[in-house]
């Protein structure tokens, strides 16, 4: 499939939607209208002789700071709730798409977006990011309980690997490095466990043993997702890690295929203006698991220091509504903070 034509935002070289000064335009923007007109001088990206200036220096970070909105999983609510809210402010966003879930009908209540929905997001200036092939964790987790020979259940910090029966996991410590196939997961009197297909044949101590996917599986999750989404016609440069699980082990594979990771360090929203590392990006949620006071406090810091904020949401959750998203965008607008995609933020902040 040929590469899809860029949106008008991309044609004009727009690096982000500055929300200041748009209040008078809000009433005319809705989901029923064509893509809003971008407020930019078409001549800005041309040299004096009329040709594109390909050697120009990337733009500086916005003086008033920037925010990236990153939505997880690709549910239909990204299209029916997030997109209308963002259109009110002519603001882009980044969506983390699980390549095997595109068009999936049985996800949550309303299914996942299909290619046509994603095309409309891109035409509105949004970015498509990889969220792996099957929403597989990229994390590395320590055992919380010793595993002994003949055990078929192991008890790691997280049991996300167990969600994918039939996949190979690596169990590794200073003395051992071996693999097993995931059979199941669950909870018993000891705690949450991952069950493997054949018994452990050696002792693995808690706190000294980790569970992770082998290199081949890591590369498959990351590379094949990017390839699949690009095969649908989308340009994919960034990664959103499932379950907010990401660390040094995952970083070595992510750098092979992506220019940055949206949620490499989950739990904080603000990334300092100087020294931004796109493979150690901080992200936290802006509606679920939080409160308005902490969000507005972080927005104040971003506006005052010119920092980069990265915020996320699962739009299928009951509390994540179109109006609640619009509320947050209005707070961003009030502070003259620029809204960027993650790709655009990396271009401007990673120097």
> Do 116 and 89 fall within a single domain?
yes
For the chain, the helix, strand and coil percentages under 3-state DSSP, each to the nearest 5: 30, 20, 50
Q: What is the pTM of this model?
A: 0.84
CA dist list (Å): 166 to 155, 188, 195 = 18, 21, 11
Region of residue 230 (phi > 0: left; psi between -120 and 50: alpha; otherwise: beta): alpha
Contacts of 145 (CB under 8 A, 6+ apart): 154, 155, 190, 191, 206
Q: How many domains does the chain have?
A: 2
pLDDT at 204: 97
DSSP for 136-148? -----EEBSS-B-
> Do 131 and 262 fall within a single domain?
yes
> Do 322 and 240 fall within a single domain?
yes
- Count Cβ atoms below 10 Å from residue 54 Cβ, excluding itself: 7
* Domain final position from 212, 233, 265: 212
Point out the residues of the chain with pLDDT beneath 70: 1-56
pLDDT at 57: 78
Structure tokens at 125: 């200036």
In a domain, residue 24? The reply is no
> Do 115 and 261 fall within a single domain?
yes
pLDDT at 45: 41
pLDDT at 55: 56
> Do 264 and 328 fall within a single domain?
yes
Count, in order, helices (H) and strands (E) of the chain. Answer: 10, 17
* Domain final position from 181, 212, 243: 212
pLDDT at 37: 35
> Do 149 and 243 fall within a single domain?
no
User: Cα-flanking dihedrals φ and ψ of residue 180, to 5°?
Assistant: -145, 160
Query: What is the β-pairing status of strands 338-340 and 177-187?
Result: unpaired
In a domain, residue 46? The reply is no
> Do 204 and 315 fall within a single domain?
no
pLDDT at 58: 76
In a domain, residue 49? The reply is no
Q: Residue 308's Cα: distance from chain center in Å?
A: 15
Structure tokens at 347: 């271009």
User: Cα-flanking dihedrals φ and ψ of residue 43, to 5°?
Assistant: -85, -10
| Structural domain harbouring 204 | 141-212
In a domain, residue 13? The reply is no
Count CA atoms closer than 13 A to 4's CA, side-chain side. 22
First to last CA, the chain: 33
> Do 99 and 232 fall within a single domain?
yes
> Do 226 and 244 fall within a single domain?
yes
> Do 100 and 240 fall within a single domain?
yes
pLDDT at 49: 43
The CATH number assigned to the domain holding 248 equals: 3.20.20.370
> Do 117 and 230 fall within a single domain?
yes
* Domain final position from 212, 233, 253: 212
Query: What is the β-pairing status of strands 260-261 and 238-239?
Result: parallel
pLDDT tens figures, 159-183? 999 999 999 999 999 999 999 999 9
Query: What is the β-pairing status of strands 153-154 and 265-266?
Result: unpaired
> Do 181 and 195 fall within a single domain?
yes
């Amino acid at each position: 499939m040929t590469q899809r034509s860029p949106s008008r935002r991309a044609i004009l070289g727009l690096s982000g939607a500055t929300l200041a000064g748009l209040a008078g335009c809000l009433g005319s923007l809705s989901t029923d209208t064509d893509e809003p007109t971008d407020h930019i001088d078409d001549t800005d990206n041309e040299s004096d002789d009329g040709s594109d200036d390909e050697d120009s220096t990337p733009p500086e970070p916005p003086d008033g700071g920037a925010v990236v909105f990153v939505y997880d999983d690709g549910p239909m609510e990204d299209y029916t709730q997030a997109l209308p809210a963002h259109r009110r402010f002519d603001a882009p966003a980044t969506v983390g798409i699980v390549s095997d879930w595109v068009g999936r009908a049985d996800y949550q209540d309303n299914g996942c977006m299909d290619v046509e929905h994603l095309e409309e997001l891109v035409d509105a200036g949004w970015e498509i990011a990889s969220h792996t092939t099957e929403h597989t964790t990229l994390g590395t987790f320590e055992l919380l309980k010793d595993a002994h020979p003949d055990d078929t259940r192991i008890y790691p910090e997280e049991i996300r690997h167990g969600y994918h029966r039939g996949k190979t996991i690596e169990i590794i410590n200073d003395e051992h490095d071996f693999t097993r196939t995931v059979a199941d997961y669950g909870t018993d009197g000891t705690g949450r466990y991952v069950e493997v297909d054949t018994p452990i044949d050696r002792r693995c101590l808690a706190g000294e043993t980790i569970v992770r996917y082998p290199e081949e599986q890591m590369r498959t999750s990351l590379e094949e997702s990017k390839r699949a989404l690009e095969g649908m016609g989308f340009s994919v440069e960034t990664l959103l890690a499932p379950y907010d699980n990401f660390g040094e082990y995952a970083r070595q594979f992510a750098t092979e295929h992506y220019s940055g990771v949206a949620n490499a360090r989950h739990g904080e929203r603000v990334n300092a203006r100087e020294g931004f590392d796109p493979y150690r990006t901080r992200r936290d949620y802006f509606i679920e698991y939080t409160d308005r006071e902490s969000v507005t406090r972080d927005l104040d810091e971003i506006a005052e220091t010119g920092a980069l904020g990265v915020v996320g949401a699962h739009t299928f959750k009951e509390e994540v509504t179109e109006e609640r998203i619009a509320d947050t965008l209005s707070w961003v607008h009030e502070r003259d903070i620029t809204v960027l995609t993650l790709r655009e933020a990396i271009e401007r902040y990673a120097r």
